[in-house]
Structures are given as C-alpha cells and as structure tokens.
Structure 1
C-alpha cells in the first residue's frame, strides 16, 4: 500500500464551506481507483492534511488528474496550492 500525505491551508473563514464541499465530494473521492482509506484533518486556523491510502504508488500516480480536479474545486477556499508527498505504508491499523 501507498499513502499520499497532502498539506494544505484554507483561507480564513472558509472552513465550514470547504467541509461542506468535501462531504459533497465523498463519493468521487472514495470511488477513485485503489482507494482504501481517506482521512482529512484540519485545525481551526484552516491548516490541515489529507492522508489517502491506496493500493500502490502506481495507483496513486494514475489518480493524479482526478486528484488535481478535486483540489481545483477547493481553489476559492485555499490560501495556496496544496503540497503532497508519498510514502510506503508500513502499518495501517484501525479499531
């Protein structure tokens, strides 16, 4: 498995609208090829991370256009473009 960790920062006052948009896009996000897990965390100041766990790095790379299009829908809420890094998953636990 492979994880893409993306750092982002929302504009002040946009947290509620961005969260509503995120919830509207759930089916598209979770429907991407190879998606296992999706976690979005955000502080009150709008700083946050998205952690997506997919089947492989190749799968993640193949989803890049879809991911870019999804982030594009948040453009009016973002202070700057998000920055992503990829990692091999060494543990993916849940209760």
Structure 2
C-alpha cells in the first residue's frame, strides 16, 4: 500500500486519487495512519473478505462444539435430514429442525 503524508496528500491530491484508483493509499500524520483511500470496489472486496473470515471462524467454532456434544451424548443428525431441513427454510411450510438421535 502506497503512503502519503497528510501534507503530500493535500499538495498532490490528483496523484493521490489517481493512485487510489489502482491500489489503496494510506495517509499519515506524524507517522500514524489517519486515513485509507480506496475505490468502492476495493472497499466492498475488503468487507466481503472480512465477512468470510468471520463466518468461517463461527463455522469452525460451531463444528467444534457440535463434535464435543456428539462425543458427550452420541446424539446426531445425518446429512439427508439436515439437507431436507435447510431446503425447507424460506418456503411456506418450513420443517422443524431435525431432532438429534442415536
């Protein structure tokens, strides 16, 4: 990421905006980043990447907890039960979540 000081950003605003069209640009004041300039597309890509990281992290946490529960109780559902339930979500007559069984 290219970096401009605040005074360089002010004095070279055209260069800053031209650069920000191709890559994110940091603006610093007294050695600290105070702003980052990027295109809306780059911002959206960054947001989507963070969402994926959060969702995956939650998936891993949920999977670990589900495995602990299975080890402790022996209760489970199978793929076809979960798929039928997931497919029914958003329909006029959604199924109840499958009950765990041995």
TM-score by length of 1: 0.24
Higher strand share: 1
Structure with the higher fraction of residues in helix conformation: 2
Identify the structure with bigger relative contact order (alpha carbons < 8 Å, sequence gap 6+). 1
Tell me which structure has the larger Cα radius of gyration. 2
TM-score, normalising length: structure 2: 0.23
